[in-house]
A and B are shown apart, each in its own frame.
Chain A
Amino acid sequence: MAEATKIKAKNEQGYWAFVNKQFRKKKTAVFSLYIVIVLAIVAVFAPFLANEKPLVCKYKGETFFPVLKDIAVGFGIGQFQPQFQNVDWKNLPYEMVVFAPVPYLPMNQDDKCIHSVGPFDTQDVPSARWKHWFGTDELGRDVLSGMIHGTKIAMTVGIVSMLIASIIGILLGSLAGFYGDENFQVSRVRLWGNLLFLFFAFFYSFGARSYDITDALGRGLGEGFIQLGISILIFTAVMVAGNLLVIVLKKIPFLGKQVAVPFDLIIMRVIEVLNSIPTLFLILLIISIVRKPNLYVIMGIIGLTGWTGIARFIRAELLKVRNLEYIEAANSLGFSNAHILFRHAIPNALSPVLISIAFGIAGAILTESTLSFLGLGPADTVTWGQLLSYARQIPQAWWLAIFPGFAIFITVTTFNLIGDGLTDAMDPRLKQ
């Protein structure tokens, strides 16, 4: 057993070492990886890089860290000191102060630099320290600050929406690929019974309690969660009770007959339907019925519409994997199908999915900036696409057209290059 583990570890190491080596051969991909790391750092430290509040200040004999405090307040820990509430941070009589490199927040309007002042125009600012290096937009908001905070948005959208898409895609794709149309066998009564129980469970947990839940959510998150918890309990109870009943009913020969659930057929049809509606149309359709799209809604929509590629990828991979010897071996050792699927099949099919994820992040960032450009993106934040869209309204403001667009371009390209590098690195045809 110990021997086997060692061999397995060595093989695994061998594969990743190989991928790593191949990946490092590709200079552009490695360089892109560094750019992504820089972008990630900018995203994480955005509040320290561009902020109207000082990083450190000494005020009336006391030392404060307003940016840190601001982050803590954002998390709901603590409150701002009373002397700092509703103040003009720029003009407080500090004894000592260190501002962020870009001393503006993306939503702050500089009243002296409205109507889009360019980087080379004369700017009405106290000193070069306060210069708008990338200019301002129509309302006098600093473009550089918007770009720094936009990095945060872009990276979050890319990663979170791809996470949603990956979870759905891997789950459905592996069900379709591993079980196919024949291999998932259940008794008749369990199949039809569970569909029926699902209806009842939804009915009693959510349908019949709809207003209880919404009212509780309206009163507060805590009460809402209690009500939701009760609903989930009811749901589970109905499902468990139903399945206990199934065990009894299975004794009847007609009901106990094994039938196959055609996962592949169902999931592939769903993918076909989703792919038949051009993605942007589908996204616009969903956005049109959402009252006010915020960042979470946008991420959810991109994730929910973007999983089909990953699902197809992993399905194709599992179609190959499920016929390999080790799966057969696991089968003959008596492991359950679910165990084989989650412990043996999916982990081995997962690495190629990294490629789709890399391309998917690029796509998600592009989709978000497209939506923002069209004016349908998250309304509560500044994004790259949004900044770019202002350029359409002001024909002289070239800085609004060039900088945000370039940021989108760089980010999308780096993720594409990483995907490209991974494709080459993982391509078994090169393993010679």
Chain B
Amino acid sequence: MKPVEVKTEAGKTEAGKKFFFASLSFPLFGYILKRVLIFIPTLFIISLLTFILISAAPGDPAETMLNRTSGEGQAANRLATERSYVDLRHKLGLDLPIFYFAPTNLAVSDTLLRIPIKNHREMLDRLTYQYGNWAQIENYYHQLKALDIAVISTKKDSTNADTLIELRNTVAKIFIHHEDNVLSPLLADLKTQSNSAANLTEVKAHAEATEEAYIKMKSDATPWKRYVPLVQWSGTHNQYHRWLFGEAKWFGTETDPTLGKGFIRGDYGISFFTKRPVKSVIWDGLWITMLISFLVIIIEYLISIPLGISLAVRKGSAYDSSVTVGLFLTYSLPVFWIGTMAIFFLCSPDYIEIFPPFGLGDATWDDGFFYKLGDLAYHLSLPLIIASYASFAYLSRQMRGSMLTVLGQDYIRTARAKGLPENKVIWKHAFRNSLLPIITIFASFFPALIGGSIILEFLFTIPGLGQITYAAVIQKDYPMILTNTMFAAILTLVGYLISDILYAVVDPRISYSKK
């Protein structure tokens, strides 16, 4: 077989163009529309999946945001923090049920969600599990809270200071316990303690009321309620609905600016960590990741298609076998290793310093368009090389394989038998057909790039979507993680769509119109 120079043929572009327009007929648009419509349920399920996963996360976001330790300080102070905590929970919608409906039982009440302090919520949940009569449990909790306030607001003097500290500790313990064998002695302690010093009449009254409520809760227990299953319907007033659709009015002007608009209207909430709107953070990063992915795809296809063809054409030669082995090895080189090594040896003053090790440069667009462009190119060159090499190896191997398959077909033999020049056989007959497999690869390739952005941007400290996600995972910044995952999924679906369209454009046999 004669080696063929890799070059583009003049007639090809025109033929391609004609063909491209021919395929953009109505059925294709109908197909695209159909695909986009199918995205909606897929995205819906993804949003549900991610949202529920995030909701299962341990810890209380409001507590994280306020960064406070509960139950300390003076009465007024403590009430104030509790107030702000309740407000924040309300603002974040954490006092709402998670989903439209939830399997639960007769004993559980949704008022439980409005209890501000996490430890108390857990204690009350336990009590509900044990006694199953929410009305009495709530009463007990109110009495306990009143007692707590009475204790911290009682004036300290020399006679009761020690007793007050003891009382405080006892109350704090009561708040986190649910076992009867612990609570009963604690409540008894409470009584003896409040009797042991003067000026504690108010506390004493509250202590008695609490104990009374406790005994009532125990005697009126209805533990059987736990065994009655119930599907609780919360309507649209739930966290998921709020996150997805928002609470603001859909039509007309919203008077209350605090109401969110929901994910589908472009309101992604507020980052727990930076307290900035997620939207502004994400958009800053999204275009960088998009730019890098776009450039990587172009570079890869530009290199690997000609390379794969030249390998296939010279099948069995020393050139082919050596490059194929080389490609296999490059394919297996982990990106994060090669990236680390590149930063190590090519960006460090200790060895060779040709590339900047991190960031996207300080230049802004105000410094002049070309200056910024040059700076960006300088900073992006190494990340682009690192991001490209692995999948470029894979793509070339695929291209080689598919070209070989096509070259083995009968119609190629016919073309050769006709006496067509090898150049024409390759470019006119084999080329387009061999493209099909590597276009299908695009569908799996694009998500890999988006996923790979996490590693790449971590390596080179590029502030893109991947780096933002990584930071969000480290900081447990759930609104950020949720939004990033949604965006990664949307980009992936768009990638699938593009691959489908390209497929139709390249292969005339594929028709999306109904037969």
Q: Tell me which residues across on chain B come within 8 A of A278, comparing CB atoms.
A: 447-448, 450-451, 488-489, 492
Which of the four size classes fits the interface of chain A?
35 or more
* Contact indicator A284/B344 (Cβ below 8 Å): no
* Contact indicator B341/A405 (Cβ below 8 Å): yes
Q: Tell me which residues across on chain A come within 8 A of B50, comparing CB atoms.
A: 277, 285
* Docked pose: A406 CA to B229 CA in angstroms: 57
Q: Tell me which residues across on chain B come within 8 A of A406, comparing CB atoms.
A: 337
* Contact indicator A281/B332 (Cβ below 8 Å): no
Closest CB-CB distance, A365 to chain B, in whole Å?
Answer: 9
* Contact indicator A288/B46 (Cβ below 8 Å): no
Q: Mark B406-430, 1 if CB is under 8 A from A, else 0.
A: 0000000000000000000000000
Q: Tell me which residues across on chain A come within 8 A of B493, comparing CB atoms.
A: 276
| A376 with B103, Cβ < 8 A, contacts A278-B448, A288-B57, A402-B341 known | no
Q: Which of B9-17, B312-320, B371-379, B476-484 is the interface stretch?
A: B476-484
Q: Tell me which residues across on chain A come within 8 A of B49, comparing CB atoms.
A: 273
* Contact indicator B103/A199 (Cβ below 8 Å): yes
Residue A391 CB within 8 A of the other chain = yes
Residue A63 CB within 8 A of the other chain = no
Residue A94 CB within 8 A of the other chain = no
Q: How many B residues touch A, CB cutoff 8 Å?
A: 55
> Which of chain A's residues has its CB closest to B45's CB?
A273
Q: Tell me which residues across on chain A come within 8 A of B473, comparing CB atoms.
A: 284-285, 287-288, 376
Q: Mark B469-513, 1 if CB is under 8 A from A, else 0.
A: 110111010100100110011001100100000000000000000
Q: Tell me which residues across on chain B come within 8 A of A210, comparing CB atoms.
A: 129
Residue B257 CB within 8 A of the other chain = no
| A204 with B227, Cβ < 8 A, contacts A376-B473, A405-B334, A413-B329 known | yes
Residue B80 CB within 8 A of the other chain = no
Contact of B478 among A207, A284, A288, A370 (CB under 8 A): A288
| A285 with B470, Cβ < 8 A, contacts A276-B42, A277-B492 known | no
Residue B348 CB within 8 A of the other chain = yes
Closest CB-CB distance, A432 to chain B, in whole Å?
Answer: 13
* Docked pose: A369 CA to B336 CA in angstroms: 9
Q: Tell me which residues across on chain B come within 8 A of A13, comparing CB atoms.
A: none
Main secondary structure of the interface of A (DSSP, over half): helix
Closest CB-CB distance, A301 to chain B, in whole Å?
Answer: 12
* Docked pose: A354 CA to B450 CA in angstroms: 28
* Docked pose: A370 CA to B466 CA in angstroms: 14
| A200 with B350, Cβ < 8 A, contacts A276-B492, A277-B485, A370-B336 known | no
Q: Which of B167-175, B301-309, B452-460 is the interface stretch?
A: B452-460
Q: Name, among B54, B336, B451, B488, the residue most crowded by chain A CB atoms within 10 Å (CB to CB).
A: B336
Q: Tell me which residues across on chain A come within 8 A of B451, comparing CB atoms.
A: 278-281
Contact of B46 among A204, A277, A279, A374 (CB under 8 A): A277
Residue A102 CB within 8 A of the other chain = no
* Contact indicator B488/A289 (Cβ below 8 Å): no
* Docked pose: A269 CA to B39 CA in angstroms: 11
Q: Tell me which residues across on chain A come within 8 A of B470, comparing CB atoms.
A: 284, 374
Closest CB-CB distance, B374 to chain A, in whole Å?
Answer: 27
Residue A8 CB within 8 A of the other chain = no
* Docked pose: A396 CA to B329 CA in angstroms: 27
Q: Tell me which residues across on chain A come within 8 A of B328, comparing CB atoms.
A: 413, 416-417, 420
CB contact list, A374-388 vs B, under 8 A? 374-376, 385, 388
* Contact indicator A289/B54 (Cβ below 8 Å): yes
Residue A48 CB within 8 A of the other chain = no
Closest CB-CB distance, B39 to chain A, in whole Å?
Answer: 9
Residue A401 CB within 8 A of the other chain = yes
> Which of chain A's residues has its CB closest to B105's CB?
A208
Closest CB-CB distance, B413 to chain A, in whole Å?
Answer: 18
* Contact indicator A276/B489 (Cβ below 8 Å): yes
Residue B177 CB within 8 A of the other chain = no
Tally of A-B Cβ pairs under 8 angstroms: 142
* Docked pose: A273 CA to B49 CA in angstroms: 9
Q: Tell me which residues across on chain A come within 8 A of B476, comparing CB atoms.
A: 288
Residue A272 CB within 8 A of the other chain = yes
| A286 with B46, Cβ < 8 A, contacts A211-B126, A402-B341, A416-B332 known | no
* Docked pose: A401 CA to B339 CA in angstroms: 10
Closest CB-CB distance, B350 to chain A, in whole Å?
Answer: 6
Closest CB-CB distance, A198 to chain B, in whole Å?
Answer: 11
CB contact list, A262-285 vs B, under 8 A? 269, 272-273, 275-282, 284-285
Contact of B481 among A204, A284, A412 (CB under 8 A): A284
* Contact indicator B469/A374 (Cβ below 8 Å): no
Q: Mark A184-218, 1 if CB is under 8 A from B, else 0.
A: 00000000000000011001100110110000000
* Contact indicator A289/B340 (Cβ below 8 Å): no
Q: Tell me which residues across on chain A come within 8 A of B103, comparing CB atoms.
A: 199, 203, 207
Residue B53 CB within 8 A of the other chain = yes
| A291 with B58, Cβ < 8 A, contacts A278-B451, A282-B485 known | yes
| A288 with B455, Cβ < 8 A, contacts A211-B126, A391-B344, A402-B341 known | no
* Contact indicator A281/B46 (Cβ below 8 Å): no
Q: Mark B157-187, 1 if CB is under 8 A from A, else 0.
A: 0000000000000000000000000000000
Residue A392 CB within 8 A of the other chain = yes
> Which of chain A's residues has its CB closest to B49's CB?
A273
* Contact indicator A409/B350 (Cβ below 8 Å): no
Residue A346 CB within 8 A of the other chain = no
Contact of A370 among B57, B229, B334, B492 (CB under 8 A): B334
Residue A74 CB within 8 A of the other chain = no
| A289 with B454, Cβ < 8 A, contacts A275-B447, A281-B484, A405-B334 known | no
Residue B218 CB within 8 A of the other chain = no
Residue A133 CB within 8 A of the other chain = no
* Docked pose: A272 CA to B493 CA in angstroms: 10
Residue A373 CB within 8 A of the other chain = yes
Residue B226 CB within 8 A of the other chain = yes
Residue B79 CB within 8 A of the other chain = no
| A289 with B58, Cβ < 8 A, contacts A388-B337, A395-B348 known | yes
Residue B56 CB within 8 A of the other chain = yes
Residue B333 CB within 8 A of the other chain = yes
Q: Name, among A269, A376, A395, A406, the residue most crowded by chain B CB atoms within 10 Å (CB to CB).
A: A395
Residue A50 CB within 8 A of the other chain = no
* Contact indicator B452/A280 (Cβ below 8 Å): yes
| A374 with B105, Cβ < 8 A, contacts A284-B473, A285-B53 known | no
Residues of chain B whose beta carbon lies under 8 Å from any beta carbon of chain A: 42, 45-46, 49-50, 53-54, 56-58, 103, 105, 126, 129, 226-227, 229, 328-329, 331-334, 336-337, 340-341, 343-345, 348, 350, 447-448, 450-452, 454-455, 458, 469-470, 472-474, 476, 478, 481, 484-485, 488-489, 492-493, 496
Top 3 closest pairs, chain A to chain B, by CB: A278-B451, A405-B337, A289-B57
Residues of chain A whose beta carbon lies under 8 Å from any beta carbon of chain B: 199-200, 203-204, 207-208, 210-211, 269, 272-273, 275-282, 284-289, 291, 362, 366, 369-370, 373-376, 385, 388, 391-392, 395-396, 398, 401-402, 405-406, 408-409, 412-413, 416-417, 420
Task: List, sorted by A's number, 25 A–B pairs whose CB atoms are closer than 8 Å.
Answer: A200-B229, A204-B227, A269-B45, A272-B42, A273-B46, A273-B49, A276-B496, A277-B488, A280-B451, A280-B452, A281-B454, A281-B469, A281-B484, A281-B485, A284-B469, A285-B481, A287-B473, A288-B473, A395-B344, A396-B350, A401-B337, A405-B334, A408-B334, A412-B332, A413-B329
Further contacts, 15 of them, CB under 8 A, given A402-B341, A409-B333: A200-B229, A207-B229, A275-B492, A276-B42, A276-B493, A277-B46, A278-B492, A279-B451, A281-B454, A282-B485, A284-B473, A288-B481, A366-B334, A374-B454, A396-B350
